Structure 1
C-alpha cells in the first residue's frame, strides 16, 4: 500500500471577511435597515422630559422651544442608528439639544442620559465606545455633589441600560470574531479538500499512464497493433485526467463508485495484477458511495505503485470496503494519500485500518 506511508456601527453584522458590505449581491443587513426601529421603541421614555416641560413654570415660548428640542433629540437619536449618518454628529446634536432644555426642565435633563449611553455603547467605533460608556455610567455619581433635585436612585435606571448596551456590543464583536474564524476554517478546509482531491486524481491517473506507457514500450516491437491500442488508451487517460483535475479544482467532482469498480481491474491488469471483486455496487450504502470510490481509487493506486502484488481482492459490503493484496506488506510512514484517506473517512464518522496481511496489506474501511 502507501509506502510513503465589529468595527463601528457593525453591531449585529456578520459580513464575510474582505467582503464589501455595500455589494448589492450580498444579503441586506436587517440591522442597517431596521436599526431606526430599535431606537424608536425607546422614544416612549421621552414622555418624562415632555411631562416635565409641560408642567414647568416657564413662558409658553420657552416650553414650545423645549418641546422642539426634545423632538430634535428624538430625530437625532434615530438617525444615529441608521448607518447613513455619523454617530459622532448624532451624539453631538443630542447633547446640544438636551442641554438646550435645561433652562426649562432643569435637572430633569439627566433623563436623556440613557439614550446617549446606549447609542455610544452600540455605535461608536472602538475604543471610543468604551470610554463613552464609562463616562455616561459615571453620571449617577453626581449625586455625591448634593445637587438640588438630583434623584439619588438614578443609577438604578442608567446602569442597567449601560450594562445592556455594553453586553450587546461585546456579544456582537465576539460574534464577528467567531464568524471570521469559521470563515477562515472553512477556507482552510476547502483548500485541504482540493489538495486531497488533486492528489488522488493525479496520483491515480499518472500511475495508470506510467503503467500503460511501460506496457506500450514492451509491446512496440513484438505486437505493434497492441502497442498502438495502449498509446490510444494513454491519450484517453490523459484527457480524462485533465478533465478531472479541472472539475476537482472547481469543486464539481464527486467520486463515482460504479466507475471506479469498472476502472480498477483494468488499471491493475495493465500492471499484471489480477482482481477479484466480492459483492457489487448494490451491497454498498448509497450515502457513502462517493467516499468508497475515493478509497478504492487511492488503494488501487497504492497497490500499483508500491505493493509488488500479483492479486488484489476488493470486498464490498453495507458498512464499508476492504482492499487486500498479496504484495510485500506495509512499512514506513504514512504518505499523503493514506493521510487524505483517513481524513475523508474520519470526516464521515467512519474508521480505517491498514495492517499487514499474510502476505501483503489489508485496508479496511468501516462506515456507520
Structure 2
C-alpha cells in the first residue's frame, strides 16, 4: 500500500491530525518587566550612605549635594533595569555619583558597590558583564591593604550579592536558550505539517488526475461525450486540488471523513476498482474522524497507484477503519507513507496494522 512498499506514499505528522500547528506563545520574562521594581525594593539599603552623610562633619551645602547624589544614584539604578536608560549609561552615572560622595562619606562609598555589582551582573551585555563582575569581585581584596576604615570582611557582604546576581543571569540565559529551542521546534513542526499535508493533498489529487486523464485518452475515440465529461472532471479536480493546497498552507484544512468517504468510490471507479463500504461515518468516534479521513485518503491513493486491485472493502466502526484490497499485496520496507500514517495514529494512542489479505493487502487502524 505504502509508497516504499509499492514505491509511493504519504507523510504523517506528530501533532493532532488535520490541525494547524502554531507555536505556543512563550510567557514574558517577569525580570524584564518588573526588574525595576525589584531594584527599587533594595534601595532601602541606601540608608547606610544617607546616615553616613547626615553624621558627617561637613557643611550643610556639602551634605545637600551628597544627598542629591544619592538620590540620583537611586534613580539611575532603577532606570538601569528598565528600557528607559541604557545599562551602560546607568552604570556610568551611578559610578560618577557614588564617587562624588567620597569627600563627604569617605570610605563609606563602598556601600554603593553591591548596587553596581548586581546591575553589572544582570544588565550588561555579554561578555562585558563577566569582566565587570570580576572587577567588583576583586574590589574587597583592598581590605588586604589595611586601608583605614575599610571593612576587613567586606567580601562577606559583596560576594554573596554578586553570586546571586550571576546565578540569576546564568539561569536567565539558560531559559532564553530553552525558549529559543522551543520556538525552533515549533517552526520545524509547522514546516513538517505543511510538507506532509501538501504531500497528502497533492498525492491524492494527482493520482486522481492521472487516472481520469488515462480514462479520457481511452474514451476520446470510443465515447467522445464521456471523454469530455472526464476532461471537465479533471478541470474540477485540479481546481479543488489548488484550493486544498492553498488552504493547507494557510493551516485551515482539516480532514473530512464524509467527504473522503464520498470521494473514495469515485476515484476507485475511475481506476476500474469496485468499492464496498461497510458501516458509516456515524459509526465512528467523532474525536478521530479527521484522522480517519487522512487514513482513508492515503489508503485509497496507494490502492490506485500500486495495488493493481479489482475491488476494495472499506470498513468503518467505533474503533477505527480498515481498507482491504484484492491486489498484488505488499512487500519491501516500510516507507514514508506508512511511517507518516503510523505517526498520525500513534500520536493519538492508536495502532496501525498492515498485512496480507490473501490476496491483497489490509490496512487496519485501531483507535482508543
Task: Give TM-score scaled by structure 2 length.
Answer: 0.88
2:332 is equivalent to residue 322 of structure 1: no
Displacement after TM superposition at 1:150 (Å): 2.5
- 1:314 aligned counterpart, secondary structure: strand
8 Å Cα contact 2:3-2:337 kept in structure 1: no
Displacement after TM superposition at 1:46 (Å): 0.5
Distance 1:335 1:202 in 2: 18
Q: Which residue of 2 aligns with 1:141?
A: 141
Residue range with higher mean Cα deviation, 85-94 or 201-210: 85-94
Q: Which residue of 1 aligns with 2:72?
A: 72
Displacement after TM superposition at 1:227 (Å): 2.2
2:361 is equivalent to residue 366 of structure 1: no
Displacement after TM superposition at 1:34 (Å): 4.1
1:51-108 Cα distance to aligned partner (Å, 9 max, x none): 1111122222222221111111112112212223222221111112112212222221
8 Å Cα contact 1:329-1:356 kept in structure 2: yes
8 Å Cα contact 2:66-2:100 kept in structure 1: yes
1:1-368 equivalences under 5 Å are: 1-5=1-5, 34-368=34-368
Distance 1:324 1:163 in 2: 67
Displacement after TM superposition at 1:366 (Å): 2.4
Displacement after TM superposition at 1:202 (Å): 0.9
- Give aligned pairs, total: 348
Q: 1:152 to 1:314 in 2, by over 3 A?
A: farther
For structure 1, the residue ranges without an aligned partner over 5 or more in a row are 6-25
Give me the CA root mean square deviation. Answer: 2.1
Distance 2:365 2:264 in 1: 17
Distance 2:156 2:117 in 1: 14
1:255-294 Cα distance to aligned partner (Å, 9 max, x none): 1011001111111111111212222111222121111111
- Greater relative contact order (Cα 8 A, min sep 6): structure 1 or 2? 2
Displacement after TM superposition at 1:176 (Å): 1.7
Q: 1:136 to 1:319 in 2, by over 3 A?
A: farther
Distance 1:244 1:349 in 2: 28
- 2:352 aligned counterpart, secondary structure: strand
Q: 1:3 to 1:28 in 2, by over 3 A?
A: closer
Displacement after TM superposition at 1:163 (Å): 1.5
Distance 2:252 2:333 in 1: 31
Distance 1:3 1:126 in 2: 51
8 Å Cα contact 2:3-2:336 kept in structure 1: no
Distance 1:314 1:290 in 2: 16
Q: Which residue of 2 aligns with 1:23?
A: none
1:197-235 Cα distance to aligned partner (Å, 9 max, x none): 111111111111111122222223333322222222122
Residue range with higher mean Cα deviation, 28-37 or 147-156: 28-37
Distance 2:42 2:319 in 1: 60
Distance 1:297 1:228 in 2: 26
For structure 2, the residue ranges without an aligned partner over 5 or more in a row are 6-25
Task: Give TM-score scaled by structure 1 length.
Answer: 0.88
Distance 2:3 2:128 in 1: 59
- 1:305 aligned counterpart, secondary structure: helix
